[in-house]
Structure formats: structure tokens, C-alpha cells
Structure 1
Amino acid sequence: MVLPGATLGVMGGGQLGRMFVHAAQRMGYFTAVLDPDESSPAGRVSHWHVRSDYLDELGLAKLCGHSDAITTEFENVPAAALARLAEHRPVSPAAAAVAIAQDRAEEKAHFTRCGVPCAPHAVITGEDQLAAIGDELFPGILKTARLGYDGKGQVRVTSRADLPAAWESLKRADCVLEKMLPLAFECSVVVARGADGVMVHLPVQRNLHRGGILAVTEVHEQCVPAALGLRAIEAAKAIAEGLQYVGVLCIEFFGLEDGSLVVNEMAPRPHNSGHWSIEGADVSQFELQVRTLAGLPLVQPRQHSPALMLNLLGDLWFPAGAANARTPDWASVLTLPGTHLHLYGKTEARPGRKMGHLTLTGPTAASVRETALDAAQRLGIEAF
């Protein structure tokens, strides 16, 4: 057990690392961040910022020198770096689990081993696999096996005739072709598992994506059908248990029109869809990350308010296609009851870039949604 007063390290300096640092500091820990960007959001608020590449031996040694235990804030930190750190310090999640999450083909194989259904798919590593694709997988989505996120590295493929060009556009990288399914909604579950095997979870979160990027998350008792929500929680726990996972893990699911549930992907870290828990639950996903890393007891989080989260993308700084960035009207939004503004300290706004989020809480799901729609209108966010 690593008690407050010690130093917790994190690989990656983005907004997830920033919110982890805030949670750790609130609980009495010192923090260290490794990130090559001198103005990284987490590095700017941490006690120590090691500015180096993720595979730089000197940088890794410096992070170890500062830290009593180390985690990661995004899945594309090289698994080899986590394995190297684990030779000297406790690291969670483990490199092996992160490596599976970094490869869509390995990830889907793990889901299958855990008995959790995923969309029909095929792995493409060369022209032979490309030629062997069955017609039943069309229309589909061709995704790079590695390094894809927020809709990047994905191409919709309507027919077999479109597949070769789509693969060329992805530079003939190893890919997974997934059949497109009739979706009713998307949802996610955040679970936390300790080294002792104790597991807790946040409530099921209903998500809306636009352009492959999360736009809206709603969390309340009626956000998904109750029976399907229970299946999602059990599936997420099975996936975490199958990995012998230690840390916070988010599993994303598709709810289909026929009432069935399939798993989409997993993220070995806190997740955008869990940000609402900072204000909407008594234990946030970032406190769960601190607890799992430090070996502290896990308690089941309790949601105390219906919640809705709006992602704040850099597009809001450029209304009506403005050439120069303008600060959104935060003062107007903050007049609304139950609004909680989080800005990530990024120095430059760009379209599609996650600049912050707005969480809304209130006494009922209907009132929260009404306020959120008002906030969205004031900020120029499309209604939902």
C-alpha cells in the first residue's frame, strides 16, 4: 500500500493525466508526469514534470526516481516503456493489458475468450486476408489495428469493391474490418479492479458520438434499459477479470435494435465518458485510479445526482467558421444551475481538439437535460 505523502507517477501529460494529478493531490500525494510537451496539461500542474520521450531510458529513470508507483493516462504509451518501469516500481495497469488494448485484433480475441460478443469482423494483415473477406461483413468499417482513436484510422466501406482503396488509404496497415450493425445507442462502463481482485464500477453511461468523437454522455437510472445495463456491467467485469487487470478500465458497447449488446472496444485508463463522476458521484473515476494504483481500499461509487456531460471541442472557439479564435461565453453558461466547467489548460484551440468539458447535475434527469440543452444553445453546440 502506497500511502498519501508518497509520489504517484503518470505516463502522459494530457487532460486525463491532469485530472488524475488533481485527484492524487487532493488525497495528499505528490505527483510526477512524464510527457515530452513542456506545456502538457498534466505537466503544468504536477510537482515534477519529466520532459522526455516515452522510451527514453534517462526519462524513465527520472520518473522512477520521483515515483513510488506509476500509471498511464492513455493507451498509446508504449507497452515496452511500462514493462521497463515495472522492473523498478509498481505499475498499473500492467504492460500486457495495455498491449492488448493497443491492438484491435488482440482486443477482440480477448473479448471472445471472455465470452463477450463483439461485432462480426475479420483481421487483415495482407492481400490474402483482403481477398478472403466474406460478403457478410459489408457494409463495414475498416479500422487500423493500432493507434486509432476518436474516429481516426477508420474508413467506412460499403461494398467489397471499395475495400482495396480503403486499405490503401490506411497505408496497407494491419486492419480489422467490422460489420456495421443497426445501433439503437452506445454506452460504456467504467470498472476499477484492485490487486486483491476487488472490483467496483460506475453506473452505465449512455454516449452520443459525432464524427467519431464523444459529444454527450448521460447518466441516470433510465438512460439504458435496466436488463441490458446489467449485462454491460457483468461483461465489463468479465473483461477486466480475464486480464487480471489492476486499475481503471472503460469498456464501450453498442446496444442494437434487436435488444442485444456487443462490445466495441476498451480503454485501459479513465475515459471521457466517466468525467461526470467528478461532480455526480461520491468517488470519481480518477480517485478510483489513485486507489487502485496505491493499493487503497475500493468502495462502490454512489451516484448522487443525475448527470450529463458535454464535450467542449476547439470548434467552439471558432463560431461560424471565424478565422481567429474567440473565447466562448463561459459567463453565460455559468449562470445556469448545476453547471461545472472543466478546461484543460491547453494553449491552443483547434477544431476537433478536446479543450474541456461541461458537466451538469440536478435533481432529475429531465431538469438536467433541459439545462444542458440551454447550455449547448448558448455555446453553439448542436442539440441532442
Structure 2
Amino acid sequence: MSGTRIVVLGAGIVGSACARELAAGGFEVLVVDRHRPAGATTAHGEGNVLVSDKGDGPELRLAQLSRRLWPEVLAELDADRVEWDPKGGIVVATTETGAADLAAFAAEQRAAGVAAEPLEAAELAAAEPHLTREVTAAYHYPEDAQVQPVAAATALLSAAMAAGARLRTGCEVTAAIVRGGRIAGVRTSRGDLHADAVVNACGPWAGAVSAALGAPVDVRPRRGEVLVTTPLPPTVFHKVYDADYVGAVGSSDAQLQTSAVVESTRGGTVLLGSSRRQVGFDDRIRPHVLSAIASRALRLFPCLADVPVMRAYGGFRPYVPDHLPVIGPDPRLPGLWHGTGHEGAGIGLSVGTARVLHDLIRGRAPDIDVDPFRVDRPGVLGAGGAK
């Protein structure tokens, strides 16, 4: 299939990972973005590469595939450049009910091949000396890791371009070019772009873009915010979060939900999250949301009470009502492929998504069952876009 022209829509981390995978496979790749690479959802995340937050099921299989692939990809990208940190995660419960639920969840994950190790109080104190002692259960997930999301995305895109991919920015997609019932390219604000296949990797905007292409998928924006402290001496040594986070990720409630997620960066800042709410593309920062995030975080790390917060940021995540990514061919418009709907897990799942799409485009069987991610599953085909 060498010489096949593929237009990848979206230069965030998923689009960049797809471009790298496809260009390395010999395809002629053009990456298109309406703004700049890694400038939207990717720039507003924490860089998580997680297995700890996923119960047994298809998304966990994709996460495990991605986690296996990341070291392979990093060997090409340079782990130091993307600030790869395989520091592991610690999930804690602070109530007796929460402890029982967390133990059951960890047991389910272990049965699915995830390393989830219970920590006794002394072990937890040694691992996270500044964490509250009001903990009823704790589990260590050594496979959890972190990258600097913009650095990782731009490194993936650079690798794609080194393999022959091209990039076009400031280019908004307005419609599909269709010939003989197949997509043959896209019409954009900067002219027509012809291709043999098109990959929709537009993140939260994938719903609107798919509607413009005439094959809408129900991908919506879901907003999240993060607080960033001033740089500190070593204080938080893993990604630490309350078990409530898993429930917030899987919830369909449109109202504000917060859970405690605390982790440090290589620069010494501490990231405090997380929030989830459905507000369309309203990008206003709301003080009550930041207050709720801070309050949750302080329950886990009371020592942060007097630490200055130097900034807050928020972004949109691609939400799908059934909480699974949309990956694969669109049966309504041959030649159109989707790689979106990862919500807050896109950083970690990017390289696995790229490998799956590459395999499918080549007609190969991927390493995991991709039927749960299919485009024509119930609940995904819809109007798309933000209301």
C-alpha cells in the first residue's frame, strides 16, 4: 500500500501518533490542523499513561497494548525529551466502603493481568511520606507512567515528518470530497486536499468534523481543569489519587464532578486535579470548580495547604456516551476512519490507537479485539458536535 495518500485530521497526540505509525509504514501522510500542533486538548492534560483507572474490559486491553508499545516508541523519540516517568501510581480509599470497593476493583484488574499491589500502612508511608494517614486501603500500580504531553505529541509528529509526513496548519475542514461513494479527500479553508483515506483524530471536535464530512459520530466536549503549584522540593512521588476518580471517569453525569488526583512534574510543580463537567465549548475558568479541586486534593495532601498555586488551566476532552473510544472504519463512508473519543485517556492510549488503526487500514488483525470500538455501535452514530 506504499504511496497510498492519507490525510490525518488533527495534530494532537492521537493524530500525531497515527501520522507517525502510518508514515513509518510507507503511507503518504498529510497532517491537517486548524490551529497548531498539540495546542488544544493535548496541551491541557496531565500526561497520564495509566492502567490503574480502567476496569477489566476493552479500554483496559487498549491501555495494556499502549503501555507495551510506549517503550518501543520512546526508543525512537528519546524518553528524556518527552519526560517519560514510569513512577507508578497509588490509589487510595479513605472510607471503609471505599476500601472494600477498591479491593474488589484491584482484584478484577489483577485477574486481567494488571499489577496491583496492596500496600500496608508502613509501606504507604514510606512511598508517600506526605500523604494523609486517614487511608483505609491503598494499592500500588507500578505500570502507571507520565509524559509531558506537548513534548510527547510534538516528538511523535517530528518522527512522522522524519518518515515523510507533511503538516498543514491553519486549515479548517468544511466538507468531504466524495467520489463513487468513497471519501476522496476533504475541502478546507485553504483548498481541497485529495486522499485515498482520511483519519478523523480531532478529539473533542471530532463530532463536529464528522458531521461536516457527512458521517456524524456522537463525540462531545467534556471539560476538565487542573491547578499547578509553584515548584516544591520532592513532595509527591507517584501519581496519587482517590478511588473516587474511577467513578468520575465512568460517570455520564453532566454536572460538575471532582476527585482528588495529585502528582508532581519533573520541574517540581505539583498538578492538582481533577474535574469533569459538560458545558459545551465554554472555556471560562470557574472559581468554584478550582476551589472544589483544591479541597479534594488537600484531603490527601494536607501539607499543600499553604503552597501557592501559580496557575490553573482547563481543556476539553472527547467524551462518548458509552465511555469507549471510537476507532476504525466508518461503514457509511468508505475511506473514512476515526480515532477519537478517548476522553482524558488520549495521551496514554495514543500509540495503541495508532497501531490498531494502522493494522486495520492494512487489513491486518490487531493484537486486541477492536469490535467494542467500532464506529457503528449503538450510541455512537448521532448528530455529533457540541450543542
Range into which the TM-score falls when normalised by the shorter chain: 0.3 to 0.5
Q: Higher relative CO (CA 8 A, sep ≥ 6), structure 1 or 2?
A: 2
TM-score of the aligned structures, taking structure 1 as reference length: 0.33
In the superposition, the TM-score normalised over structure 2's length comes to 0.33
